[in-house]
Every structure is written in C-alpha cells, then in structure tokens.
Structure 1
Amino acid sequence: MLELSILGFLAEEPLHGYELKERITALSGHVRPVSDGALYPAITRLVTAGKLDQHTAEGAGAAPRRMLSLTERGREDLLERLRHPRQAEITDQVRFNTVLAFLRHLPDPAEQAAVLRRRLEFLNTPASFFYRDGQPVRAEQTDDLFRQGMLRVARATGEAERGWLAEAVAHLDTLSPGACAEPPATAR
C-alpha cells in the first residue's frame, strides 16, 4: 500500500519526500503511520525500477530538496495496481481507502466500476467479528454491550458503504468509455 500511495500522489504532481510522507500519513492516519525507515527504501526501490524520477530542486530555505516525479513506467504500474487490486486491498478498509483515493486515475469508468463491484461483493458476504458454531454473530445475538457496539457500528458503516458503492457503480455504468468519472449529484 505504501508503494501505491507513493505512485498515486506522484501521479498528481511532483513532490519532495517530506511532502509525500505528510500526504501518505494524512491518508492512512494514525492507524498505519509511515516511518522514514519504510518510506525512503520504498522510494529507492521505485527509483531503481524506473518508476520514479528524482532530481534536486531549490528548497524553500537554503538547502536543496530531492524532488520526485512519476515516470511512464510508474504510471503504468499505478494503473495496473488500480485495475487489479489484491484481495487484501479489497477486504481491508484502510487498504481499500488507499485504492479508492487514486481510483480516479483509471481512465475507463468500466474498470473503475469493476473495482467497486469487487468491494461491494465482499461487503455483501455475511461476516462478523465473532462466530458461533461457524455462523456470524449479529449484534442482537450477544449480551456483551461492547461487542454489540462493535457489531452495530460495523453494520451501519457497511450499509452506508454498500449504498454509496451501488450508487457509484450505477453512475459509472452510465458513462461512455474514456469519460472522467464525476460524482453522482446525490453524493455528499
């Protein structure tokens, strides 16, 4: 997900490492903070693979900054990652949000819709944090106040996400190939 975030943010504009780190941190939040020990080796791997270009630019102060930009190979990699997210990138909420943050870079609304359909299919599969006799436990089936809270919040969040996903897929299905996806008028 770190590499996807790097590629995604650099598809929008060239950045220096600190700006990139700040944007990635804002996207993943406190849940998955990014360390210099993870970010800079990932940048080095992407530069070595020819997916990023780096050059020195004048800094805001006296020190020059290392600016990063996406190469054509990097853009192709980004698009491939967005077209075919791994299953964990569909099932994990934070990872899916990272995919969602950059999905607009896919030029084909049908490909965008296909990714959203995968997430919708996952959300429509009965699941729970807790199971009894191999069956998902619902909030109404437990006397534990705190587990009830977890399950109720998860259900409400899932219902909201499923509603948005269905609306977004319907909208994308109306677009001609190659059109840019604009949010539906009813989206907030």
Structure 2
Amino acid sequence: MLELSILGFLAEEPLHGYELKERIKALTGHVRPVSDGALYPAITRLVTAGKLDQHREDGAGAAPRRVLSLTDEGRADLLERLRHPRQPEITDHVRFNTVLAFLRHLPDRREQAAVLRRRLDFLETPTSFFYAEGKPVRAEETGDLFRQGMLRVARATGEAERTWLREAIEQLTQAS
C-alpha cells in the first residue's frame, strides 16, 4: 500500500520526500504510520524500477531537496494496481481507502465500478468479529456491552458504506 500511495500522490504532482511523507501520513498515518525506514527504501525501489524519476532542487533552507515525479512506467503500474487490487486491498478497510483515494486516476468508469463491486460483494458477505459454533455473532446476541458496541458500530458503518457503494456504482455505470 505504501507503493500505491507513492504512485498515487505523484500522479497528481511532483513532490519532494518530506511532502510525500506528510500526504501519506495524512491518508493512513493515524492507523498505519509511515517511517523513513519504510518510505525511502520504497522510493528507491520505485526509482530503480524506472517508475519514478528524481532530480535535485534547491531547498527553502540550505539543503537541496530530492523531487520525485511519476514516469510513464510508474503511471502504467499505478493504473494496473487500481484495476486489479489484491484481495487484502479490497477486504481491509484502511487499504481499501488507499485504493479509493486514487481510483479517480483510472480513466475507465467501468473499471472503477468493477473495483467498487468487489468491495460491495465483500461487504455483503455475512461476517463478524466474533463467532459461535462457526456462525457470525450479531450485536443482539452478545451479552457483552463492549462487544455489542463494536458490532453495532461496524454494522452502521457497513450499512453506510454499502449504500454509498451502490450509489457510486450506479452513477459510474449510467455514465459509461
């Protein structure tokens, strides 16, 4: 997801490393903080793979900054990652939000709708944080106040997300 975030933000405009880190942190930092030890090796991998270009620019202070931009190969990789997110990128809420943050870069509305349909299909599968005899436990079935709270909040959030997904898919398919 870190590489997707890097490619996605650089698809919008060239950035130097610190600006890129701040944008990634704003997107997922409270849940999955990004460290320099993860960010800069990921940038190096993407530069080495020809997906990012870098050049030095004079900084606001004394030190020059490394400015990163997306190459054509990087844009192609971004689009492929958005067209075909891996299953954890569909099932994990934070990872899906990262996909969602950049899905507008995918030019084909049908492909955008297909990604949203995958998320909707996942959300429509009955599930729970807790199971009894192999079956999902519903909020009303637990005697634990705190688990009940978790389940009720998850249900409300899931209902809101499913409603939005259906509306967005309809909008995308009507416009195609």
Q: TM-score, normalised by structure 2?
A: 0.99
Q: Distance in 1 between matches of 2:79 and 2:70?
A: 12
Residue correspondences, number: 176
Give the structure 1 partner of residue 76 of structure 2.
Answer: 76
| Letter aligned with residue 159 of structure 2 | E
Q: In 1, distance between residues paired with 2:76 and 2:100?
A: 17
Q: Matches of 2:93 and 2:29 in 1, distance apart?
A: 13
| Structure 2 counterpart SS, 1:30 | coil
The farther-off stretch of 58-67 and 43-52 is 58-67
CA distance in 2, matches of 1:67, 1:145: 51
Cα displacement (A) at 1:63 = 1.7
Amino acid at match of 2:76: E
> Within the alignment, does 1:64 sit opposite 2:64 as a pair?
yes
Q: Who is 2:12 aligned against? A: 12
1:30 positional shift? 1.3
Name the residue aligned to 1:100. 100
Q: CA separation in 2, counterparts of 1:18 and 1:120?
A: 35
Q: Give a deviation string over 1:43-85, Cα, whole Å, max 9, x none.
A: 0000000000000012112221100000000000000000000
Distance between the aligned counterparts of 1:90 and 1:60, measured in 2? 40
Which position in structure 2 is the counterpart of 1:120?
120
Query: Within 2, Cα distance between the matches of 1:58 and 1:172?
Result: 43
Counterpart Cα distance in 1 of 2:33 and 2:81: 21
SS in structure 2 of the partner of residue 50 of structure 1: coil
Letter of the 1:100 partner, please give it. L
Identity %: 84
Which residue in 2 is equivalent to 1:169? 169
1:183 is matched with none
**Aligned-residue RMSD, C-alpha:** 0.5
User: When the two structures are superposed, what TM-score results if normalisation uses the length of structure 1?
Assistant: 0.93
Separation in 2, partners of 1:30, 1:107 = 30
Unaligned runs of 5+ in 2: none
The Cα of 1:162 is off from its aligned counterpart by 0.1
Equivalence for 1:182: none
- Residue 29 of structure 1 deviates from its aligned partner by 2.7
Deviations 1:82-123 (A, max 9, x none): 000000000000000000000000000000000000000000
**Which runs of 5 or more structure 1 residues have no equivalent in the other structure?**
177-188
Tell me whether 139-148 or 55-64 shows the greater mean CA deviation: 55-64
> CA–CA distance in 1 between the matches of 2:67 and 2:15?
6
Q: Secondary structure at the match of 1:129?
A: coil
Distance 1:161 1:172 in 2: 16
Are residue 37 (structure 1) and residue 53 (structure 2) matched? no
1:175 & 1:74 partners in 2: Cα distance? Answer: 28
- Report the residue type matching 2:25 in the other structure: T
